[in-house]
Structure 1
Amino acid sequence: MMKSDQMSSKNVKTNFNCAICGITAISKCAACSLVAYCSKEHQKIHWIKHKNKCVSYEVQTNSNLGRHLIAKRAINPFDVIIKEEPLVLGSKFPTTEPVCIKCLRHLKRSHSTIESLCEQCLWPVCGAECITSINANIHDEECKVLVLGAEKIAKTNNYMYNVLTPLKCILLQFTDKIKWNCLMEFPSHMEHRGLGSEVYEEINLICDYLNQNFLKKLDLKVSSDLIHKVCGILDVNSLDIQVPEMELSAIYSTVSILEHNCLPNISFSYDKFGCISVYAARKIAKNEHLSIMYTNALWGTRERQVHLMSTKYFKCSCKRCSDPTELGTNFSTIICNVKDFCKGNLTSKNPLDISSEWECDRCPNTAMPDKIDTILTNLNGVVEKALQNPSINSLEKALSKLTNYLHPNHYLSFNIKHTLIQLYGHAMGYKHSMLTDSLLKRKLELCREMFFILNIIDPLYIRLNIYSSVILYELHLALLESAARISKNKAESKGMHDEAKEVLSKALDILKNESEGSSGYKLLQAYKSNNNIL
């Protein structure tokens, strides 16, 4: 947990006494404000007793949220709130993609049939290089179980990667009772995952595979009900971790308690061992709930609600979800096409109810949600086709089609625009110096439109920081080109050049906390190396 070896510089009230000697104290612990000290020496002495209580949050429970965390004091921006090792760290669950059984790095499909196999259990490995991997020992416990079905599975190439992380969890009851008991405190929501549900049949395949190939041979008393519960706990509570060449799932004893909000107030980063550091993304008031986001910030409200209900089994009622316009962005808004003349905005009457009618803000027209789904399904096909082999012409054509049915800020248009701004200025025949004035203006407008949206739906740059950074970087390039074209107008040119510097500085700042080796970190290094104005 968080350690405090510095004292607050603020004076405290006279009724605070030093935790060691009892005299009037001059400073409180900067991390938790729970105790005070007369000197730094006494703070160091008291740390042995105080360190387990030195936290800025507390766990609370209610019938709606279950266990959750609140701030028990004001927390300043960028303060470390939690540092924690995972209870369980394994390959992404659920997934069927091949991974190295020892270090969890991705394997190409062709690698799953080559001769690079674990010498004991005969599951695929990435080769000799994973001997020095930091995750090399992560395989030790399940290897003792997987070896039981080694020859049969290797012979048939029947590697079911979905079972790996559940197996890690199951083995904790025999290898680490403390971690196992902690894991079992998390909700599994089996009331939603029972017989007859789609997910029940999927997990049954995992149960059959584990029992038939391994667990029965060990005579371990692991019921199918328990495997279902473990998979439910993983589905509902695990965090997805993306590190270079790896997608992992992890459960943390404290961090996994954090509740969801589509406008979260904390951010986090991982080190190469899967240890997580949780930071305040802004100033957090005493008694404020600490939150992260469980779903995709670039989905509309309807899509986020469906995803949360089907995977996490709750409905989000945050500020963004409760507003039909998504905080004025119109990120989910459909264009009303009654008799092809209205062109008003169609939004849900009650965005927290996925069965709610949608209504126009200009005419009496309403639409049932199934009609909205049909429109979105058809247009999603247009987007996917355009992004398969993107070109400026194909993307502009798709975007033009979308604007007949969707608000210009709609989320389906976002990925097309994000791809467009990277083609304008970089694609063959469309370098910045080759763009017409109108196309350069087009790029500037697209960048500003998208950053306006991101600044509202992710104002603290927690979930969409890479998107924001790319947009700002491309905006700065377009501004530099524009400044160069009007160089005779010194005042206007200088204004654009100064804005470009400011925008680039922001793009770099957004990525400054990216973990080394991550895609965001690599992007930051590329931007720094290409920077010639800061």
Structure 2
Amino acid sequence: MSENAENEVCAMCKSSAKQKCSGCRSVFYCNREHQKLHWKEHSKKCIAFRLAEDEKLGRHYVATRRIEIGDLILRDEKPLVEGPLQGTTALCLSCYVLLNTETAKPCEKCGWPLCSNCVEHGPECQFTTNHKGTKVKITDFDYPHPTYRCIAVVRALCLKETNPKSYKRFLSLEDHNKKAALCNEIHFHESTDIARFVKRFFKLNDVSENEIAKIAGILKINGHEVPTTEPAHMAVYDLSSFLEHSCRANGSKSFTAEGALVIRAASPISKGEHITICYTDPLWGVTNRRHHLLRTKFFECMCTRCTDPTEFMTMFNAIMCTKGECNGSMLPKTFILHNEERPDYICHTCNSSISWRMVEQITDKIGVDLSQMRKGDVQACKTFIHQHAKTLHENHFYMTDVKLALSQLIGQQEKLSTIDIEMLSEKILLCKKLDELLRTIAPAENRVRGVNLFEMHAAISEFGRRQGQDELRGILMESRRMLTEAYKLLRHEPEILPEGQIAIQARNNIREIDLIMKTSFQHSLSSMYKHTKEV
């Protein structure tokens, strides 16, 4: 039997098959029904992209078929390397929980402190025993401890012996140390400082400083912050390290409780389109995003969002026209700067202008106000919005930051059932506008979008409860629509995260709404039948 003949059997029932999976084109099915039944298993292996490379972007992924919203793109089951974030205080090297003098328990083998619930930890235990000679002693639990910056590096070095294939894959990732050295950047000095510290701390003679510096650079450039522990930790994955950046990514990122990194389509992706995730905070202003990417990832972002000063007409970075009688908004012609010259901000209505430097002074002052604002306070949020409404566009990133907080605080400080109808309506309108904005500039931010939709559903449901029976059904249908979308966005978040808990609540709420609507509909039919009989 030929190799082709062996492969041409249905993956579900093993009978003769001619239909191929359109994604990877390596699995066969006898009919579409069996393909659907097998998808849950096959989706973990099906590849809808290819690795491409060019001089400007380096290695990146290109879709080999159309990918629909919600489709699984890739799944990294286990990180190549994981460890504490840089600048952390003392924590347990098994579960990453923060420690203090009362909760810390030194590992009997190596001395690294653990929590009372953990007995074993990572390969740094044996590495410390083999190369340090003495046990580690951690006595300061109040400030970031410098020794923790070596943990992820040591775990990567351990792969050299325990899993040479994974170590080779890890070293193939970009470290950007050469770029950093040419720029005399902090990143380069951090990598070399860590390398010197590791060699000195563990008395390593058989590993070069350059190799350790390369490892440190790879960890910084390719590390993902994993929120499934408190505090979060860092992990470097294999397949996911080749995903390209965009400030308006088409791929959403989530983590499983077991540590897998999963990428799903946040927007429809056409065949030939690049697959992207966001390396920075998409809710920062364009200048801050680009500065962060340049300093930490060593490239100047030229994505469609950054090159459009209006950010798809959202005016996310705009200030209001400084001419009192004009209601226009002001933006520069571009935020892509190639020299020291900074273009003026120009009003799109009256063409008046103001210098870039003057705008920086205005926004810097407002930024200070924001940093000093009382957290978790509805009135403080409202005061900030009112005070700066004539200066900042309603969608400005500072305003958006405060509005996101306010949309969740309304109904938390006081229960939704106790607030007045005006504030309830304010919450609904706020959530709707935020939803429109987030869909436009950050469609891949599933956690933020899902929580906002859940808050909108809760407010709409409470609004409906206060209306008459005639209006209730239509309002509940709208609430259910919001809730269903929130659940779709959050359903892949692990239960250990707040967003995962909200997904569970959303699923339960959908059932409750369906029951209410069914009961209400049956009551309406009964009333109608009774009225007909009387007539």
TM-score (norm 2): 0.81
When residues 167 and 74 of structure 1 are mapped into structure 2, their CA distance, relative to the original with a 3 A threshold, is same
Structure 1 letter corresponding to 2:396: H
Give 1:210's match in structure 2, choosing from 198, 223, 235.
198
- CA RMSD after TM alignment: 3.3
Tell me, yes or no, if structure 1 residue 436 matches structure 2 residue 420: yes
Verify the 8 A CA contact 1:454 1:468 in the aligned structure 2: yes
For 1:401, the equivalent position in structure 2 comes to 387
Give 1:533's match in structure 2, choosing from 492, 495, 513.
513
For 1:9, the equivalent position in structure 2 comes to none
CA distance in 1, matches of 2:269, 2:200: 51
C-alpha displacement of 1:54: 6.3
Tell me, yes or no, if structure 1 residue 348 matches structure 2 residue 332: yes
**Paired residue secondary structure (2:62):** strand
Verify the 8 A CA contact 2:50 2:63 in the aligned structure 1: yes
CA distance in 1, matches of 2:374, 2:149: 29
C-alpha displacement of 1:58: 1.6
C-alpha displacement of 1:226: 3.0
Deviations 1:121-141 (A, max 9, x none): 2111112x2248xxx455445
**Paired residue secondary structure (1:255):** helix
CA distance in 2, matches of 1:479, 1:232: 49
Give 2:245's match in structure 1, choosing from 234, 255, 260.
260
**Paired residue secondary structure (2:227):** strand
Verify the 8 A CA contact 1:269 1:277 in the aligned structure 2: yes
Deviations 1:322-368 (A, max 9, x none): 22111122221112214x44342111311333864232212343344
| Number of equivalenced pairs | 490
TM-score (norm 1): 0.81
Give 2:503's match in structure 1, choosing from 508, 524, 528.
524
C-alpha displacement of 1:378: 1.8
For 2:115, the equivalent position in structure 1 comes to 126
Give 1:67's match in structure 2, choosing from 44, 51, 59.
59
CA distance in 2, matches of 1:191, 1:34: 40
C-alpha displacement of 1:60: 1.2
Matches within 5 A, 1:279-294: 279-294=264-279
For 1:177, the equivalent position in structure 2 comes to 164
**Paired residue secondary structure (2:306):** helix
Give 1:495's match in structure 2, choosing from 463, 474, 477.
474
Deviations 1:418-445 (A, max 9, x none): 22223323324xx434433332222222
CA distance in 2, matches of 1:78, 1:29: 18
Verify the 8 A CA contact 2:43 2:72 in the aligned structure 1: no
Structure 1 letter corresponding to 2:365: N
CA distance in 1, matches of 2:73, 2:465: 46
Give 2:485's match in structure 1, choosing from 506, 514, 533.
506
Structure 2 letter corresponding to 1:198: I
Give 2:221's match in structure 1, choosing from 230, 236, 258.
236
Tell me, yes or no, if structure 1 residue 117 matches structure 2 residue 106: yes
For 2:467, the equivalent position in structure 1 comes to 486
CA distance in 1, matches of 2:509, 2:66: 40
Structure 2 letter corresponding to 1:227: I
When residues 162 and 373 of structure 1 are mapped into structure 2, their CA distance, relative to the original with a 3 A threshold, is farther
Structure 2 letter corresponding to 1:107: L
Verify the 8 A CA contact 2:90 2:140 in the aligned structure 1: no
Identity percentage of aligned residues: 27
Tell me, yes or no, if structure 1 residue 309 matches structure 2 residue 294: yes
For 1:458, the equivalent position in structure 2 comes to 442
When residues 471 and 332 of structure 1 are mapped into structure 2, their CA distance, relative to the original with a 3 A threshold, is same
CA distance in 2, matches of 1:246, 1:423: 23
Give 2:98's match in structure 1, choosing from 89, 103, 107.
107
Deviates further, 365-374 or 496-505: 365-374
For 1:410, the equivalent position in structure 2 comes to 396
Which runs of 5 or more residues in structure 1 are unaligned?
1-16, 44-49
When residues 366 and 187 of structure 1 are mapped into structure 2, their CA distance, relative to the original with a 3 A threshold, is farther
For 2:363, the equivalent position in structure 1 comes to 376
CA distance in 1, matches of 2:5, 2:45: 16
Structure 2 letter corresponding to 1:515: P
Verify the 8 A CA contact 1:268 1:278 in the aligned structure 2: yes
Structure 2 letter corresponding to 1:379: I
Verify the 8 A CA contact 1:18 1:35 in the aligned structure 2: no
Give 1:392's match in structure 2, choosing from 378, 381, 393.
378
CA distance in 2, matches of 1:417, 1:491: 32
For 2:187, the equivalent position in structure 1 comes to 199
For 1:467, the equivalent position in structure 2 comes to 448
Verify the 8 A CA contact 1:244 1:519 in the aligned structure 2: no
CA distance in 2, matches of 1:245, 1:204: 29
Give 2:261's match in structure 1, choosing from 272, 276, 286.
276
Deviates further, 493-502 or 307-316: 493-502
Give 1:91's match in structure 2, choosing from 83, 92, 106.
83
